Amino acid sequence: MKIGATVDGDLAAIATEILQEAEAAVTRGVVAAGRGLRDDWRGQVRASGLGSRLANSVRQADFPRSGTSLRAASLVWTKAPDILHAFDGGVLIRGKDGLWLAIPLPAAGVTGLGRQRITPWRWEQRTGMRLRFVYRRNGPSLLVADDARLNSRGLAAAKGGRRRRDGVLTGAQTVPVFLLLRQVKMPKKLDLDGLAREA
Residue 25 lies in a domain: yes
> Domain check: are 19 and 76 in the same one?
yes
pLDDT at position 170 is 53
> Domain check: are 115 and 166 in the same one?
yes
> Domain check: are 85 and 136 in the same one?
no
> Which residues in the chain come in under a pLDDT of 50?
169
Over residues 98-129, the pLDDT tens digits come to: 788 999 999 998 765 566 788 899 999 988 89
Domain carrying residue 59 = 11-90+188-198
State how far the Cα of 35 lies from the Cα of 60, in Å rounded to an integer. Answer: 7
> Domain check: are 26 and 80 in the same one?
yes
Number of structural domains the chain divides into: 2
Residue 3 lies in a domain: no
> Domain check: are 80 and 108 in the same one?
no
Q: Are 57 and 79 in contact (CB under 8 A)?
A: yes
pLDDT at position 75 is 94
> Domain check: are 105 and 68 in the same one?
no
The DSSP call for residue 100 is: P
Evaluate if pTM is beyond 0.85: no
> Domain check: are 17 and 36 in the same one?
yes
Residue 169 lies in a domain: yes
Residue 136 lies in a domain: yes
> Domain check: are 120 and 174 in the same one?
yes
pLDDT at position 190 is 87
> Domain check: are 176 and 192 in the same one?
no
State how far the Cα of 109 lies from the Cα of 60, in Å rounded to an integer. Answer: 34
Return left, alpha or beta for 115; rule: phi > 0 is left, psi -120 to 50 is alpha, else beta.
left
Residue 95 lies in a domain: no
Residue 1 lies in a domain: no
> Domain check: are 22 and 76 in the same one?
yes
Q: Are 169 and 161 in contact (CB under 8 A)?
A: yes
Residue 62 lies in a domain: yes
pLDDT at position 143 is 94
> Domain check: are 131 and 177 in the same one?
yes
> Domain check: are 21 and 57 in the same one?
yes
